[in-house]
Amino acid sequence: MNIFFPLLGYLLGSLPFSVWVTRFVKNVDVRDAGSGHATTTNTIRQAGFGWGALVLFLDIAKGFIPTHLAFQYSGEVWLVALTASASVIGHCWPAFAQFRGGMGLAVAGGSLLSVNPLGFLICLGLLIVLVLTVRHSARASVFAGVLFAPVLWLFQIRDVGFGVAFGAGLVIAVRFLIDWNRKYRELWLDREKKR
């Protein structure tokens, strides 16, 4: 049974909702614009805020559901953390979308939310502070992924939430390295100023 939960995590994570939604609404591939990734932000760009909100909810659920099930029916910290990580890996490299997926933040958030809501809020706050400070979403996300678990440790969160933050955070950090040198022109705070 141990392999079931990570496998479920990967398969659910591989459901490319942003690809499906934008194809349904606009008959385009969400990865053909913006950052080139299957993300909520790109869905908003191509299909609007309402559809983007739906994709965000579904992506959070992709992390929440398998991690919650692993937590409820196993309780093994390593297995829950592995399941959360597999969900994020599935979202980033989905089997159902030519292994070209999103960046994993929403899925990681859903995974952490399912086992430790306070830990989720702390990590979300950390990400926001880093984005405001670094002013580059990809670099801020790399730093956040590396720091999620240590920050939770400092806040005395050393339960299964720590394990989830550690595993999912490392996947996030690795995934966002692809955009380390990217110049943002459309994203909120770190958009490039027009000359």
Other Cβ atoms closer than 10 A to 54:
17
pLDDT at 154: 97
Comparing C-alpha atoms, which of 89, 103, 128 is closest to residue 31? 103
Task: Give the pLDDT score at 184.
Answer: 63
Q: Is 133 within the bounds of a domain?
A: yes
Radius of gyration of the chain, Cα coordinates, nearest whole angstrom: 16
- The pLDDT assigned to 2 comes to 85
Reply yes or no on whether the pLDDT at 89 is more than 50. yes
- Average confidence (pLDDT) over 127-152: 94
The predicted pLDDT at position 5 comes to 96
Give the pLDDT of residue 194: 43
pLDDT digits (tens, 9 = 90+) for 146-191: 999 999 999 999 999 999 999 999 999 999 999 888 776 544 433 4
Share of the chain above pLDDT 90, in %: 78
Total-model pTM:
0.90
Give the pair of three-digit tokens for residue 48. 């609007």
User: Does the residue 148 lie in any domain?
Assistant: yes
36: left (phi over 0), alpha (psi -120 to 50) or beta: left
pLDDT (mean) for 132-150: 94
How many separate domains does the chain show? Answer: 1
99-131 pLDDT, tens digit per residue, is: 999 999 999 999 999 999 999 999 999 999 999
CB 168 within 8 A of CB 150: no
Tokens (6 digits) for 22:
């934008």
In a domain, 69, yes or no: yes
Are 45 and 34 within 8 A, CB to CB?
yes
- Please provide the distance, in angstroms rounded to a whole number, between the alpha carbons at the two ends of the chain: 58
User: Which is higher by pLDDT, 75 or 6?
Assistant: 6
Is 156 part of any domain? yes
DSSP string of 117-149, one letter each residue: HHHHHHHHHHHHHHHHHH--HHHHHHHHHHHHH
For residue 185, what pLDDT is reported? 56
| Average pLDDT over all residues of the chain | 91
Residue 151 domain-assigned? yes
- Domain span at residue 176 reads 4-190
Residue closest to 20 by CA, chosen among 36, 43, 3, 4: 43
Positive or negative CA dihedral for 158, 151, 13, 54? positive
Whether residue 195 is contained in a domain is answered as no
What confidence score (pLDDT) does residue 188 get?
47
CA distance 113 to 64: 7
Per-residue confidence at 36, pLDDT binned at 50, 70, 90? Answer: confident
